[in-house]
Amino acid sequence: MGRVTTRRPVLRIDLDGGERRRPDTLVVEEPLEIRVDGEVLTVTMRMPGHDVELVHGLLRSEGVIASKDDVTSARYCVGAVQDEQGLQVNTYNVIEVALLGQRGLPVSTQRGLVMHSGCGLCGKTSIDAIRQSLPGPLDPDRAGGLAPAVLVRLPDALREEQTVFSRTGGTHAAGLFTTGGEPVVVREDVGRHNAVDKVLGWAVLEEMDVRDLVLVVSSRASFEIVQKAAMSGVGVLATISAPSELAVAAADELGITLAGFVRRRSLNVYSHPHRLASSP
């Protein structure tokens, strides 16, 4: 795994205290090229670490795999580049994935995507396409009885697990929590979509049933994050900021309870409030 953070000199300007130079800690952002059965699937800008989880989460959200058994191997490409002496070296920025029985990629994912840390490309063009790819309908009774008083505490609980953010202020986070508010897994990344993929990829590798868990993301709710939640079977998605109109429409159509502006004393529920304990 590559570096997660690095130190750089900066000029600190304080309008009340003057100027001074000091070192600052920055989060590392590097490309990860994902190859599936010898073909380049995508390149995403990510914070190094938990890359195998990221790959499994991405492949799961795109409908390429249904479980970890569909992947026979996922490993870094040993001779990814050549150094100044012409020797092949491992950059830890290229992962090669082999699928069981040469499954091949669905038509919808047979493209070369460049995914940027600010806005991932989900690869689906409509809510109908997601619905057709779902392994099954979301159970309206799973993750039920979630108390709003518990839900509003989850962003703070997520923040407590963000060790890289505490040092850099430069990462998003995603986490899976029980309906009682206990953290199951939390991951960080420069891209919110990558953080979600790492969390859901962890669940794939651990064969964890996520249907009774809550997915919390330290960002807004985008269409692609709703897609990732739906493809993994998550019924409750909570974010600290606003959802997009398309995210709300997708959550409503796909049966996901979507909560936004989840803060310490309030939240907005945009779809399927029946899973919340105090909602009719």
Mark whether 56 and 110 lie in a shared domain. yes
Query: Among residues 275, 273, 230, which one has the least CA distance to residue 250?
Result: 230
Query: Does residue 266 sit in the same domain as residue 156?
Result: yes
Could you tell me if residue 75 is inside a domain?
yes
Does the annotation count 122 as an active-site position?
no
Cβ atoms of 277 and 146 within 8 Å: the answer is yes
Asked whether the CA dihedral 215, 221, 224, 227 is positive or negative, the reply is positive
108, 123, 138: which is the final residue of a domain?
A: 123
Which of 236, 230, 228, 224 has the alpha carbon at shortest distance from 197?
Answer: 228
Which amino acid does the sequence have at 9? P
- State which of 89, 123, 157 marks the end of a domain: 123
- Quick one: CA dihedral 129, 133, 139, 142, positive or negative? negative
Structure letter (DSSP) for residue 265:
S
The Cα 167–Cα 47 span in angstroms is 14
Residue at which a domain ends, from 88, 108, 123: 123
Structural domain contains residue 227: yes
Residue pLDDT tens, the chain, 280 long: 568 999 999 999 999 989 999 999 999 999 999 999 999 999 999 999 999 999 999 999 999 999 999 999 999 987 655 666 666 566 799 999 999 985 555 544 544 444 444 444 443 456 888 888 888 888 888 888 999 999 999 999 999 999 999 999 999 999 999 999 999 999 999 999 999 999 999 999 999 999 999 999 999 999 999 999 999 999 999 999 999 999 999 999 999 999 999 999 999 999 999 999 975 5
Rounded distance between C-alpha atoms, residue 68 and residue 207, angstroms: 8
Please name the helix (run of DSSP H) or strand (run of DSSP E) that holds residue 59, with its range, or none.
helix 51-61
Catalytic residue among 119, 182, 268, 277: 119
Q: How far is CA 101 from CA 69, 98, 110, 134, 236, in A?
A: 11, 9, 18, 22, 34
Domain around 180? 148-275
